[in-house]
Each structure stands twice: as structure tokens, then as C-alpha cells.
Amino acid sequence: MNNITSFPLKIVTFLKEVRVEMKKVNWPTREETIKFTLIVVFASAAVALFLGALDYLFRFLLDTFVV
């Protein structure tokens, strides 16, 4: 019974601790967020193009020489 009655208190304590820790977080500025997002988007596009080119090349080679 003790665990059931103390559960809401534990949730409240946890949420208070989360609030305190979130205030300690060093959040990036808007400019940093935009810059890093663009880096991720362009890097993802570059990797997608590279893998797409490899896929096209291997498909071409298989169709030409194997099938």
C-alpha cells in the first residue's frame, strides 16, 4: 500500500527535478540551430546522392554483365 500512495509524490518530485535540470541546459541560439540543421540536411542529401549513385552503378553492372 505504501508504494501506491507514494507514487504521485514521486511523480511530482521527478517533475520538479526535471524543471531544475532543464534550467541548467545550455540551449543553442536560433542561428546555431539553423546552421546545424542545414549542415545535417546537406550531409544527409550528400549521403543519399552517393548511395543512390552506387545503387545505380551496381544495378547497371549487374544488368550488363550478369543478367
Taking only the tens place, the pLDDT of each residue in 34-46 is 999 999 999 999 9
Q: Which three cell numbers stand for residue 56?
A: 545505380
Query: How many domains, the chain?
Result: 1
pTM above 0.75, yes or no: no
Domain ranges, residue 16: 2-65
Q: What is the pLDDT of residue 25?
A: 95
Q: Which residue has the cell 549521403?
A: 47
Q: What is the pLDDT of residue 2?
A: 65
Asked if residues 48 and 41 have their Cβ atoms less than 8 Å apart, the reply is no
- Distance, in Å, from the CA atom of 38 to the CA atom of 42, rounded to the nearest integer, reads 6
Asked if residues 23 and 15 have their Cβ atoms less than 8 Å apart, the reply is no
